[in-house]
Amino acid sequence: MSDITCSIPEFTCVSPAKLVKLLELREANHIEFCRIKNVLDEILQMHKTPELCEILQLLMDPTWVATGLKIDFETLVNECESTSGRIGEMISLDYERDQKLSSFPIVPSEFFEDMESSWKGRIKRIHIEEAFAEVEKAAEALSLAVTEDFVPILSRIKATTAPLGGPKGEILYAREHEAVWFKGKRFAPAVWAGTPGEKQIKQLKPALDSKGRKVGEEWFTTMKVEDALTRYHEAGAKAKTRVLELLRGLSSDLQAKINILVFSSMLLVIAKALFAHVSEGRRRKWVFPTLGESYRSKDVKPVNGENGMKIVGLSPYWLDVAEGSAVNNTVDMQSLFLLTGPNGGGKSSLLRSICAAALLGICGFMVPAESALIPHFDSIMLHMKSYDSPSDGKSSFQVEMSEIRSIVSGATKRSLVLVDEICRGTETAKGTCIAGSIVETLDTIGCLGIISTHLHGIFSLPLNTKNTVYKAMGTVYVDGQTKPTWKLMDGICRESLAFETAKKEGIPEIIIERAEDLYHSAYANEVLLGKNGTKLEQFCSTGFSSSDKSHPQSSSGKVEAVHKTGSTNRMEVLQKEVESAIIVICRKMLIELYKEEKTSEITDIHCVPIGAREQPPPSTIGVSCVYVILRPDRRLYVGQTDDLEGRVRAHRSKEGMQNTNFLYFTVPGKSLACQLETLLINQLPNQGFHLTNVADGKHRNFGTSNLALDGLAVCR
């Protein structure tokens, strides 16, 4: 997926459970049918694109596992095509503009918008032509009635209006009553003299609501207007009922295709997740791992580490390497690690990072590292801090022992076992012995893994281990203080930085001082009594300079099918013309650069289109691109970027640009991209194209308006 160069679908995601429910209850509306059609069309688009077709075939088995539906590839394609066609025959699509709302100058537009927007634009007009015609006739009759009965009154009012306190009147939409009425006061003449408008005033009567009550003192209507309103509402209700009948009928038809719809929807969900993972992985500079053999035997020694796990440049997955906030580690694991380190030294973060990398790797995902060799583990077991469970009547230590029992009983030589701060919830001496016995057991099993601990007495025990290796999180002594480096190293670290951590978290100084006194007193007594006989060397410094101040952060636990309409054909023609012009213009400059030996080879210009409901592939992330926007008004916009996906999203977020098409091509380096951008801005108008950003060609950052092939300005 990371090498895909063609544009990819938007991957419309529809909940399979919601889809089944809507179709069974026959409650799917126009929007849901459009989304279903988008799903089917995106499957068909993947099938028609060679690069995506291979991915589509590979996703069949994962979708089978996720849905429990076994569908043949050819059956899927054929059913998607027929079902999409069935929906397209019935549903009015977004680009179709043959169902405009009724509009008459004298009737408020809000009235027709409220009355007709609930059913127009749902079903193709050909299926409800009769209802359409009846609504249009009723709307025209309503407009005529309003014009004949209300307009003369308005003309009279305008002719007799006094500066202050004159008659007032207007034609308004009474939304609450779904009616168009006359609203006015003091418009009746004091003396009836047969002047224009008097006849219509005499026809007015107070407007009534649906219960026959008078609406107000200022609202009036006529019999003719009321009859026209009734006719219009009846025609609208009939049309709406017909639309609902057709939608429910389509729901019934699609119930027979429910397996195809569920399968297609789930496939796109999986595809979207995978493409999103690859895109984000490339942005974060993650890599695909090499999956090694996981067979481990006491009789077979690893050759060149092929049976172990080696991760170079491992970073915490919750940190962005590009931001420089992560400390990378190299983990070369051929056996069990017994890990020590100070508080805040990165032990837990390292375990989480290794667990995430191993899990991602064996699932075929990218891992947060520079390179990785990961075995096929049969299980990955992670134990972090335990909490008590009052509902089960268990203390935190009981919970920990229950989880450790599951690990020990389930671990094999093909397992990865990660235990953080083992036996932390009980008395130190016995806890240390339990921890030592667990280490011996895992060492005998022969699994890979890490057990971290603050129980330094474990190194004084006569452990019977053959493969366990001692590892530590490094520290460095700077300005009289010991500080963590968060780097994995060989050896043992006995420094806990407990006092420093307590002080940092605001424990009063008097408590810290007393604790230090008690510690030195107890430690001195142990030495005098000969209770501490360890002679292990403390490996606590890595040689890092005091300038290393990196700090880790803690983790918290449509595409529509191409429709052969006139506008689409015109856009395709424009796209081909622009593509041809780009290739001719850019190739001339690239040949000149090659002759001047400014480039080692001639860069091939390969334009890739991005359709109205498509997005750039992951391969464009971090790559310099020159792009051209094909606006709906046939004007062009030329730009360059290293983040094409973000730039496309930004342009489409603007009003009227949601379905804009793009053309782009990649180039080696931002400097060349800037040169080609400037060249196209200045040369495309000479080819008869209209640009919206011609002024950018004259900007100092883009070059000069008199740009020639041998005098290109370089954007630095």
Question: How far is it, in rounded angstroms, from Cα 691 to Cα 635?
Answer: 5
Residue 639 has pLDDT above 90, yes or no: yes
Rounded distance between C-alpha atoms, residue 94 and residue 610, angstroms: 19
CATH 3.40.50.300, domain 284-495, yes or no: yes
**663 membership: H or E segment, kind and range:** strand 661-666
Q: Which residues of 465-488 are buried (b: 16+ CB within 10 A; e: fewer)?
A: beebbebbbbbbeeeeebbbbbbb
pLDDT confidence of 293, banded at 50, 70, 90? Answer: low
Residue 38 or 394, more confident: 38
pLDDT value at position 599? 52
Q: How many other CB atoms sit within 10 Å of the CB of residue 673?
A: 23
Question: Tens digit of pLDDT for each residue in 74-129?
Answer: 999 999 999 999 999 999 887 667 788 999 999 999 999 999 999 998 999 999 99
Lowest-confidence pick of 178-182, 387-391, 411-415, 672-676: 387-391
Residue 714 near residue 599 (C-beta atoms within 8 A): no
Is it the case that residue 416 has pLDDT exceeding 90? yes
Residue 660 neighbours by CB under 8 Å, 6+ apart: 612, 629, 630, 631, 632, 651, 652
Q: What is the mean pLDDT of residues 462-486?
A: 85
Q: What three-state secondary structure class fits 374? A: strand
Q: How confident is the model at residue 609 (pLDDT cuts 50, 70, 90)?
A: very high
Between residues 613 and 43, the one the model is more confident about: 43
Strand 371-375: give its sheet, edge to edge. Answer: 290-292, 371-375, 309-314, 329-333
pLDDT at residue 585 tops 70: yes
User: For residue 669, is pLDDT > 90?
Assistant: no
- 423 pLDDT above the threshold of 90: no
Model confidence at 523, pLDDT cuts 50, 70, 90, reads: low
- Predicted pLDDT at 357: 94
Q: Strand 336-340 to strand 8-9: parallel, antiparallel, or no bridges (unpaired)?
A: unpaired
545 pLDDT tier (thresholds 50, 70, 90): very low
Could you tell me if 316 and 552 are in contact, meaning their C-beta atoms sit under 8 angstroms apart?
A: yes
Query: What digits encode the pLDDT tens for the residues 151-210?
Result: 998 888 877 765 555 667 899 999 999 999 999 887 777 667 677 788 888 899 999 998
Beta bridge mates, 374: 291
**One-letter amino acid identity for 625?**
C
Query: Percent of the chain scored above 90 by pLDDT?
Result: 44
Q: For the segment 35-66, what is each residue's pLDDT rounded down to a tens digit?
A: 999 999 999 999 999 999 999 999 999 999 99
Average pLDDT over residues 491-514: 85
Confidence of residue 132 (pLDDT cuts 50, 70, 90): very high
pLDDT confidence bin for 520, thresholds 50/70/90: confident
What is the model's pLDDT at position 190?
Answer: 66
Q: Inform me whether the pLDDT recorded for 549 exceeds 50.
A: no
Q: What is the pLDDT of residue 166?
A: 60
Q: Are strands 448-452 and 614-615 parallel, antiparallel or unpaired?
A: unpaired
Averaged over 126-154, what is the pLDDT?
93
Radius of gyration of the chain from its Cα atoms, rounded to whole angstroms:
37
Residue 568 is predicted with a pLDDT of 59
pTM, entire model: 0.74
Per-residue model confidence (pLDDT) at position 701: 46
Residue 205, pLDDT score: 92
pLDDT at residue number 102: 92
For the ranges 379-388, 397-406, 550-559, 665-674, the lowest mean pLDDT is seen at 550-559
Average pLDDT score, the chain: 83
Identify the residue with better confidence: 385 or 578: 578
Detail the DSSP E strand segments found in 556-702.
608-610, 614-615, 625-630, 636-641, 661-666
Model pLDDT, residue 116: 93
At residue 162, the pLDDT reads 56
Where helices occur in 172-285 by DSSP H, the ranges are: 198-203, 223-254, 258-283
Q: Which residues of 46-61 are buried (b: 16+ CB within 10 A; e: fewer)?
A: bbebeebeebbeebee
For the chain, how long is the longest CA-to-CA vector? 127
pLDDT at 702: 44
Burial class (CB in 10 A: 0-12, 13-18, 19+), 267: buried
User: What residue spans define the domains of the chain?
Assistant: 1-144+227-281, 284-495, 566-698
- Does pLDDT of 301 surpass 60? no
The pLDDT of 589-603, averaged and rounded, is 67
pLDDT at 2 over 80: no
